Chains A and B, each alone.
Chain A
Amino acid sequence: MTIDTIKTPVTSESGEPSPGAMLRKRVFGHWGFMIGAFVLIAIFLMAIFAPYISPGDPFDQVLSRKLVPPIWSDSAKATWDHPLGTDHLGRDYMTRLFYGARISLLIGFGAMLISGVIGTTLGVLAGYYGGRVDMVVNFIITTRLSMPVVLVALAVVSIVGSSLTVVIWVLGLLIWDRFAVVMRSATQQVRALDFVTSAQALGCSTPRILLTEVMPNITNHLIVIATLEMAHAILLEAALSFLGLGVQPPEPSWGLMISEAKGMIFFDPWLITIPGLALFALVLSINLLGDGIRDVTAPENRN
């Protein structure tokens, strides 16, 4: 009996579109994803090209021109030289806002990367190996969850001293718990699937299985958590800076700008509103993007 006579069922000629094409279709149909991506890219470009698009220098103090209101105010002092006005030391507010985006994004990315590496490693190992490894990782996670993030960060920063690097490391070492928890359960689910057993039966090494079989199937969860944790880190930095223990003056951080403006909230409210809105827009866009990625990638697995 020859084998080539076997008739195969073939997918209909119109066929299902490739996963890539379906993904593109869902991405462009998802409003939250598109808005989030647009705002985030705008802030990103703002941060990268800050030196070229800023009207001035973020550290230049012109005390004669302090507290210039933004151009939409009725005040005669408003001028196109300072579209968003100046702060209490006469520094151009738009410039500081642009440069501040660099700090927020840097801290967000840095802390997310550090926490992502720690949390994913722990979570994937616990989920894949189970048993004792899982017990140890669970203990570490529980220990970490019992520590209040802001208080520990405050304590460490006040002892070690504050700088951008210290803030990134402290936050990165503190917020990996959600990565670990989510990666652990996602890995457990994937690990139970037959294609992992099949790779084992083919003689694949464990690192290979983790990298080529498990990881690609949990990256959508990873990206969602990464965006959430990035927003989380940015907000924590703002809180630390507001308390005076984050980024130190005269660096232009949005949290610091809010902190410096808090005394003038009743007289010059734009000083606190502008960085506040910027922070809000950044965190919202990251969260929209994260939700969007989850929605866009999830249905593929359901089909």
Chain B
Amino acid sequence: MATKSDSKRVLEVSRLNVEIPVPTGMLRPVQNVSLHVDRGETLCVVGESGCGKSLTSLAIMDLLPSKAKRTCDHMLLSGDSVFQIGERAMSDIRGDRMSMIFQEPMTSLNPAYTIGNQLAEALQRHRKVSSDEARQRAIYLLEKVGITAAAGRLGQYPHQLSGGLRQRVMIAMALMCGPDLIIADEPTTALDVTIQAQILHLLADLQREFQMGMILITHDLGVVARIADRVAVMYAGQIVETGTAQQIFNTPEHPYTRGLLECIPIPGKTRRGERLGAIPGIVPSLVGHMQGCHFASRCPQVSNACRSATVELLPTKQPGHISRCLLTQSAGAETPQREGAAS
């Protein structure tokens, strides 16, 4: 791990696919998803329910349901392949070099053990340290995540803590081994707004301090705008647009991204009672192979070409900003590149 520390890239995933057999055929909830995260960078994966954002994160952690099959060109964690390295090796990496924070902290903490036990276990599972050292690390991290009187909290059980405190404990647990990468799946969705802001603030601070890479999965565009360095917008199993937060929010290229941004009321921007934008229609079924652009059935700017052509991610005029839309091509000046090569 130390030898790789010169490289900035924490995670690189190329052309990840997930397939799940269902009674009506083969469900393809994740299709050709390529993404990368650098040290100290936050990538937000945003999309509506069923777009494949959570399955993408589970596929990276190799935690997919057993009947789901994943394929990819490569998946590198700080330069080491983490694709098909076997369950033993993978479970050594999970919780150590990359860890995950889930939406509902109550179900991810074991109600039968104390906070202290679970935190220590997270470290001792991967490192040969004494219980006392593990305890010291737990106290240090609980204080880091803003829990006062940390030593006293170690003996408490999860049900004795409020939702916000539990999520802080989950974050501390994810940090026990000093991971290179943190994947947070809707970490604040179950929490109140005031607590949400605090937790996000905390995540941003910790990530800067420990120089981790972070993938944050959410459906909340407000969260994305405030915390993301780069954003990947997913729709119907594909990444439809990637770019910096500024690019995505200020100059969105893909009609879906633009539609999403018009749908949300923005205090101070949309007037009260004003009609909000809408994206008519429903998400297409992802069973079987699909021709043309996935968004074609709901797109206001659809043309005949959209329904037949295979649309790849294409670079826009701005560096690092790519969009899966044929209109991008006509606007863009450079030669089209295949996805994964860009950015």
Direct contact of A and B (CB under 8 A): yes
A1-15 CB mask vs B (1 if < 8 Å, else 0) is 100000111111010
- B285 in contact with A7 (CB, 8 Å): no
Chain B interface main SS type: loop
For window 254-287 of B, CB contacts with A under 8 Å fall at 275, 278, 280-282, 284-285
CA of A205 to CA of B282, assembled, Å: 38
When C-beta atoms are compared, the residue in chain A nearest to B298 turns out to be: A9
Q: Which residues of chain B are near A1, meaning CB under 8 Å?
A: 275
- A11 in contact with B282 (CB, 8 Å): yes
CA of A11 to CA of B275, assembled, Å: 24
CA of A1 to CA of B285, assembled, Å: 33
The distance from the CB of B284 to the nearest CB of chain A, in whole angstroms, is 8
Q: Which of A1, A7, A8, A9 has the most CB of B within 10 A?
A: A9
Q: Which residues of chain B are near A10, meaning CB under 8 Å?
A: 281-282
Q: Which residues of chain B are near A7, meaning CB under 8 Å?
A: 278, 280-281
When C-beta atoms are compared, the residue in chain A nearest to B273 turns out to be: A1
CA of A9 to CA of B275, assembled, Å: 17
CA of A14 to CA of B282, assembled, Å: 13
- A12 in contact with B285 (CB, 8 Å): yes
Number of A-B contacts (CB under 8 A): 15
- Choice from A9, A11, A14 contacting B280 with Cβ under 8 Å: A9
- Range of interface residues on chain B? under 10
Q: Which residues of chain B are near A8, meaning CB under 8 Å?
A: 280
For window 1-47 of A, CB contacts with B under 8 Å fall at 1, 7-12, 14
When C-beta atoms are compared, the residue in chain B nearest to A6 turns out to be: B278
CA of A9 to CA of B280, assembled, Å: 6
- A12 in contact with B282 (CB, 8 Å): yes
CA of A14 to CA of B284, assembled, Å: 11
Q: Which residues of chain B are near A9, meaning CB under 8 Å?
A: 280-282
The distance from the CB of B218 to the nearest CB of chain A, in whole angstroms, is 22
CA of A14 to CA of B297, assembled, Å: 15
A205-235 CB mask vs B (1 if < 8 Å, else 0) is 0000000000000000000000000000000
Q: Which residues of chain A are near B280, meaning CB under 8 Å?
A: 7-9
The distance from the CB of A259 to the nearest CB of chain B, in whole angstroms, is 50
CA of A9 to CA of B48, assembled, Å: 15
Q: Which residues of chain A are near B285, meaning CB under 8 Å?
A: 12, 14
When C-beta atoms are compared, the residue in chain A nearest to B281 turns out to be: A9
CA of A7 to CA of B282, assembled, Å: 11
When C-beta atoms are compared, the residue in chain A nearest to B297 turns out to be: A12
Q: Which residues of chain B are near A12, meaning CB under 8 Å?
A: 282, 284-285
CA of A8 to CA of B298, assembled, Å: 12
When C-beta atoms are compared, the residue in chain B nearest to A9 turns out to be: B282
CA of A1 to CA of B275, assembled, Å: 10
Q: Which residues of chain B are near A11, meaning CB under 8 Å?
A: 282
CA of A12 to CA of B280, assembled, Å: 12
For window 279-318 of B, CB contacts with A under 8 Å fall at 280-282, 284-285
Q: A residues bordering B, Cβ < 8 Å? A: 1, 7-12, 14
- 6 further contact pairs, Cβ within 8 A, besides A7-B281, A9-B280, A9-B281: A1-B275, A7-B278, A8-B280, A9-B282, A11-B282, A12-B284
7 A–B pairs (Cβ distance < 8 Å), ordered by A: A1-B275, A7-B281, A10-B281, A10-B282, A11-B282, A12-B284, A12-B285
Give the 10 A-B residue pairs with the shortest CB-CB distance, closest first.
A7-B280, A9-B282, A9-B281, A12-B285, A12-B282, A7-B278, A9-B280, A11-B282, A1-B275, A10-B282
